[in-house]
């Protein structure tokens, strides 16, 4: 029996099974656009456009056939987003996003780059150098994302520097949905694990006799448990 001979409802379920969580790496890009075709005045024919781009390809199932594209291009599955535009003119390449499942990674860009999509964003990843700076100058922008369900923080420096931000910020989403990511290997540490690790390093390391081995930092030696993400100087 061919796929097209299957009952319609079964085919739709199969198409939906192709929808899986993705990590979309986003970045800001500027390019010079010729808007003459859009009816702009002559002196406005060429303008600089700032847009959000990603190298992620479209989900394969959207490109299989008309049936799959029609069914999957629904707001609860995939929708066309992150569309570059200038005033009233839509320009360039759009991106298919499932805001329920996809994690949007903005790297070191400001949170406000997603201002236009803030009500839709549910899973967000960002990268910062110093946690204390984020506490005082960037963390308040998390409130612009009212429907956020999960946050991942990529710490580029000493993870202990995120202590004040972790304790003092309103993370909008439940705290058990906030996690810290090791950029060296992609390991993820939950908020609870972060508290345990920080307590271990700050209060117990000097007196602990752990069979899992030490971690060296300068002239100090810390004992850590296997599987924990380790703070290192070269973050």
Classify strands 46-54 and 123-128 as parallel, antiparallel or unpaired.
unpaired
pLDDT tens per residue, range 190-211 = 888 888 888 887 766 555 554 4
Q: What is the pTM of this model?
A: 0.75
80, 95 contact by CB (below 8 A): yes
Domain residue spans of the chain: 1-98, 106-229
Is pLDDT at 223 greater than 90 in this prediction? no
Rounded distance, CA 185 to CA 136, Å?
A: 28
Enumerate the β-bridge partners of residue 89. Answer: 86
pLDDT band for position 18 (cuts 50, 70, 90): very high
Q: What are phi and psi of 40, to 5 degrees?
A: -70, 160
pLDDT of amino acid 201? 75
Is pLDDT at 10 greater than 50 in this prediction? yes
Strands (E), the chain: 23-34, 46-54, 79-81, 85-86, 89-90, 95-97, 103-105, 123-128, 150-155, 178-181, 188-190, 214-217, 220-223
pLDDT band for position 45 (cuts 50, 70, 90): low
């Amino acid at each position: 029996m061919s796929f097209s001979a299957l009952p319609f409802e079964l085919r739709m379920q199969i198409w939906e099974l192709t929808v899986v969580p993705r990590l979309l790496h986003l970045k800001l890009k500027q390019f010079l656009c010729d808007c003459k075709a859009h009816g702009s005045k002559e002196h406005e024919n060429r303008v600089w456009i700032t847009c959000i781009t990603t190298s992620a390809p479209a989900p394969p199932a959207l490109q299989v056939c008309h049936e799959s594209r029609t069914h999957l291009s629904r707001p609860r599955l995939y929708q066309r987003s992150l569309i570059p535009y200038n005033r009233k003119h839509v320009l360039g390449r759009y991106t298919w996003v499932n805001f329920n499942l996809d994690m949007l990674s903005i790297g070191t860009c400001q949170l406000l780059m997603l201002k236009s999509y803030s009500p839709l964003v549910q899973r967000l990843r960002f990268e910062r150098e110093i946690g204390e700076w984020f506490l005082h100058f960037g963390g308040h922008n998390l409130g612009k994302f009212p429907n956020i369900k999960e946050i991942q923080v990529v710490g580029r420096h000493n993870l202990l520097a995120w202590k004040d931000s972790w304790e003092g910020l309103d993370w909008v989403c439940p705290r058990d949905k906030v996690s810290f990511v090791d950029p060296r290997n992609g390991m993820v540490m939950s908020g609870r694990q972060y508290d345990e690790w920080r307590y271990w390093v700050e209060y117990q390391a000097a007196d602990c006799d752990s069979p899992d081995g030490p971690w060296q930092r300068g002239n100090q030696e810390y004992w850590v448990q296997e599987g924990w993400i380790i703070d290192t100087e070269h973050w």
